[in-house]
């Protein structure tokens, strides 16, 4: 009953566009910790929260799925071809920003290993800013846009 009221006020694509990425982020963080294994260390590491590349790839896949869905020949309900343009833009920008996010990770990811080895490295605050904040915001924003642009019908 409460879900019906929420969906009546908030458009369905906006509701799923925010909820699905948040669930993906939570699962991504937990899965990175589990993959690292208990033998390595206990607890979460800051690297577990660096999900920029994963979120950006998820956004690209959402946009590409939207494009293929719009262009599907067997589609029974008509969808405006105008919906193609925003999805093409998201897919293209996703590829460009994916390379940017990978570049940031290449520049800063080795910094974490240097600091953990006890050697002086780049500032941890800068690493957190670029990898935790900037890269995750890029990926999350693209994913939200990709999900919100899902064609109706």
What tokens does 41 get?
Answer: 């260390």
Cα 55 from chain centre: 2
Which CA distances in Å does 75 have to 61, 83, 145, 153? 20, 15, 23, 9
pLDDT at 121: 58
Q: In this predicted model, what pLDDT tens digit does every residue of 3-40 receive, in sequence order?
A: 566 556 667 777 777 888 889 899 999 998 888 876 66
What is the C-alpha R_g of the chain? Answer: 19
What tokens does 127 get?
Answer: 């690493």
Q: Which of 125, 150, 126, 151 is nearest to 62 (CA)?
A: 150
pLDDT at 37: 77
pLDDT at 38: 67
Q: In this predicted model, what pLDDT tens digit does every residue of 113-148 receive, in sequence order?
A: 555 545 555 677 888 899 999 999 999 999 988 888
Domain ranges of the chain: 2-148
Residue 67 predicted with pLDDT over 60: yes
Q: Please compute, for residue 59, the number of CA atoms within 13 A of its CA located in the half-sphere on the CB side.
A: 35
User: pTM for this structure?
Assistant: 0.81
């Amino acid at each position: 009953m409460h879900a019906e009221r929420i969906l009546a006020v908030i458009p369905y694509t906006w509701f799923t566009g925010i909820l699905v990425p948040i669930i993906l982020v939570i699962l991504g963080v937990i899965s990175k910790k589990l993959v690292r294994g208990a033998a390595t260390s206990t607890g979460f590491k800051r690297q577990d929260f660096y999900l920029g590349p994963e979120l950006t790839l998820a956004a690209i896949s959402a946009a590409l799925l939207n494009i293929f869905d719009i262009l599907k020949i067997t589609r029974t309900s008509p969808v405006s071809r105008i919906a193609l343009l925003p999805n093409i833009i998201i897919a293209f920008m996703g590829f460009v920003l994916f390379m940017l996010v990978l570049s940031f990770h290449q520049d800063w990811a080795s910094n974490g290993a240097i600091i953990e080895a006890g050697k002086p490295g780049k500032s941890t605050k800068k690493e957190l800013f670029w990898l935790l904040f900037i890269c995750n915001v890029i990926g999350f924003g693209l994913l939200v846009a990709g999900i919100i642009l899902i064609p109706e019908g």
